[in-house]
Amino acid sequence: MPLSQERFDLVIAANRLPVDRVREGGRSVWRRSPGGLVTAMESVMSGRDGAWIGWSGVPGKAPAAFEQGGMRLHPVALSAEEVRDYYEGFSNGSLWPLSHDDIVPPTFKRRWQAAYETVNRRFAEAAAKLAAEKATVWVHDYQLQQMPQFLRELRPDLRIGWFNHIPFPPVELFMQLPARDAMLRGLLAADFLGFQRRTDAQNFLRACRQLLVDDDISVRADVVHTADGHECRAAAVPISIDTRGMAELAATAKVRERAAEIREQLGNPKHLLLGVDRLDYTKGIRHRLKALEEMYREGSLDPTETKFIQVATPSRERLEAYQHIKRDVEQTVGRINGEHSSFGAPPVTYLHRSFPRDEMAAMFVAADVMLVTPLRDGMNLVAKEYVAAHDETGALVLSEFTGAANELKQSYLCNPHDIARTKRTIVRAIEASPEERARRMRAMHRQVLRHDVQRWAERFLTDLAVAPRQP
Ligand code: ADP
Ligand code: F6P
């Protein structure tokens, strides 16, 4: 196929660009997109010469390509029907719940699957035009699982990698998906597939072995050999954050002063707890609030001494499951504050909006205990950000159902479904001695400093370059 004038040795494809087109004061402006994928890839790509293909966040015609942070951003158009069927439907109504233990029941519709395929083809065509001869194309996340196959058909010369930011479900759940074979075949056209945990890579390999029985494939160790002679390796490459960047930001006078100001505005509580999540049913916000509500009621937390900030970033707001969780969370916060506030001093501060990085850093610095309690999460970068930002006096309560729990073993691990034990874990974290907190935080500091996002990207790109061999 004809190549465009402008070609790149590294092309990133993700559902979203790092910036979203939003209306502000009657004007259209670009604003940072939500979520961990953008947090991670923004720092990986800054200073690299590459292109990023993604949706602008609004339906209709795609804006023209533009430069940002030394990167070429190429918007891909999605019609209103495609936003409904590919993004809200197949991606977030079928794949997302299926990949998160069916916390809400997934819905399957043939129309959604057709739109998913069309959009994946469009992304592949855009990448095929932008990639230089033998370039590397790095595809991201569950929204683009068929793209590797469509891209391989157009450009057999490319090195194609895919990274899954979310869990890959066990085969017993994955096999519910009517389009399961198409997803696996789509991915197998890549040279290397990266997953958050070993379990995710194993789930994928097991799904290939068990479900593609008519495809004449063979799975040897972590490599799948397909009938056409292609080989695709699948392995764990856990994602991370720009640890030094976050630590430096958190150490600035501006952020430290702001952290002190936040505590003061809350009446200088003895203990400040914090939760930061997209408002998603996977994040366990309901369970967390239930635990805290019981603790305020029973008196194991004193509402005048212990305050809780919950940041809940708006997300996928047109989907019913997200409207439900929003309603539940807001009702519970209202109830807790109704029962336990004194004048001008509610125990829970609920913030339903986006914040600049330095304000997020100030909250991390201000909080004595960070509560990260998802029911299932691919990694959870917020947990790592808290560790990077906070000094040795902090404490992290972390769900066993996050990818981060594999690495941050010195956190206070909890099972968020077990409300009684979660409550005890929160009390342990609050009451831990300074020595115990320091010991745990020091170990976690070492972990996130050693395994930062740059190292993750280098590992992924090296794995991809030498696949199907191991580096
Ligand atoms: P997910 O990708 O599921 O949203 P992660 O925890 O991996 O979850 O990543 C979330 C990212 O979004 C983190 O970098 C976090 O700091 C950022 N973030 C979350 N809420 C907000 C907010 N209200 N304003 C700004 N950034 C936020
Ligand atoms: O990996 C989680 C994820 O789906 C990412 O693709 C994205 O960073 C984030 O959640 C935000 O979701 P959305 O793009 O649907 O707003």
Q: Which of 22, 196, 276 to mutate to test the pocket of ligand 1 (most atoms within 8 A of CB)?
A: 276
More confident residue, 41 or 366: 366
Task: Report the separation in Å between the CA atom of 430 and the middle of ligand 2, taken as the mean of its atom positions.
Answer: 31
| Rounded Cα gap, residues 223 and 102, in angstroms | 28
Tell the residue nearest (CA) to atom 12 of ligand 2. Answer: 35
| Rounded Cα gap, residues 408 and 417, in angstroms | 20
233-254 pLDDT, tens per residue? Answer: 999 999 999 999 999 999 999 9
Would you state the pLDDT for residue 28?
87
- DSSP, residue by residue, 3-65: PPSS-EEEEEEEEE-SEEEEEETTEEEEEEPPSHHHHHHHHHHTTS--EEEEE-SSSBSPPPP
Contact present, 77 and 100 (Cβ < 8 Å): no
Task: Report the separation in Å between the CA atom of 35 and the middle of ligand 2, taken as the mean of its atom positions.
Answer: 5
Question: Quick one: CA torsion of 203, 206, 212, 216, rounded to 10 degrees?
Answer: 140
Task: Report the separation in Å between the CA atom of 156 and the middle of ligand 1, taken as the mean of its atom positions.
Answer: 36
Paired tokens of 192? 């290397």
Paired tokens of 266? 């809350």
Asked if residue 5 has pLDDT above 80, the reply is no
Would you state the pLDDT for residue 4?
52
**Rounded mean pLDDT, 424-438:** 98
Would you state the pLDDT for residue 294?
98
Asked if residue 1 has pLDDT above 60, the reply is no
**Rounded mean pLDDT, 268-274:** 98
Would you state the pLDDT for residue 68?
85
Pocket of ligand 1 (CB under 6 A): 35-36, 39, 276, 278, 311, 313, 354-355, 360, 379-382, 385
Asked if residue 3 has pLDDT above 60, the reply is no
Contacts of 189 (CB under 8 A, 6+ apart): 148, 149, 151, 152, 153, 160, 230, 232
Task: Report the separation in Å between the CA atom of 134 and the middle of ligand 1, taken as the mean of its atom positions.
Answer: 34
Query: What's the half-sphere exposure (Cβ side, CA atoms, 13 Å) at 298?
Result: 11
Ligand 2: atom nearest CA of 166 is: 1
- DSSP, residue by residue, 249-316: HHHSHHHHHHHHHHHHHTT--SEEEEEEEES-GGG-HHHHHHHHHHHHHHTSS-TTTEEEEEEEE---
Q: Which of 92, 141, 164 to mutate to test the pocket of ligand 2 (most atoms within 8 A of CB)?
A: 141
Pocket of ligand 2 (CB under 6 A): 15-16, 34-38, 141, 165-166, 315-316
- For residue 89, the 8-state DSSP code is I
**Rounded mean pLDDT, 139-150:** 98
Cα dihedral 388, 392, 393, 396 sign: positive
Kindly state the percentage of the chain with pLDDT values over 90: 91
447-462 pLDDT, tens per residue? Answer: 999 999 999 999 999 9
Which active-site residues does the annotation give? Answer: 165, 377
Q: Grade residue 89 by pLDDT with cuts at 50, 70 and 90.
A: very high
**Rounded mean pLDDT, 334-358:** 97
Q: Give the mean pLDDT of the chain.
A: 96
Asked if residue 23 has pLDDT above 90, the reply is no
| Rounded Cα gap, residues 80 and 28, in angstroms | 18
181-202 pLDDT, tens per residue? Answer: 999 999 999 999 999 999 999 9
Tell the residue nearest (CA) to atom 4 of ligand 1. Answer: 35
pTM value is 0.96
Nearest bound ligand to CA 374?
Answer: 1
**Rounded mean pLDDT, 58-78:** 92
Would you state the pLDDT for residue 400?
98
| Rounded Cα gap, residues 316 and 312, in angstroms | 12
Tell the residue nearest (CA) to atom 1 of ligand 2. Answer: 165
Ligand 1: atom nearest CA of 280 is: 3
Map residue 352 onto helix, strand or coil: coil
Task: Report the separation in Å between the CA atom of 36 and the middle of ligand 2, taken as the mean of its atom positions.
Answer: 7
Paired tokens of 293? 């509500």
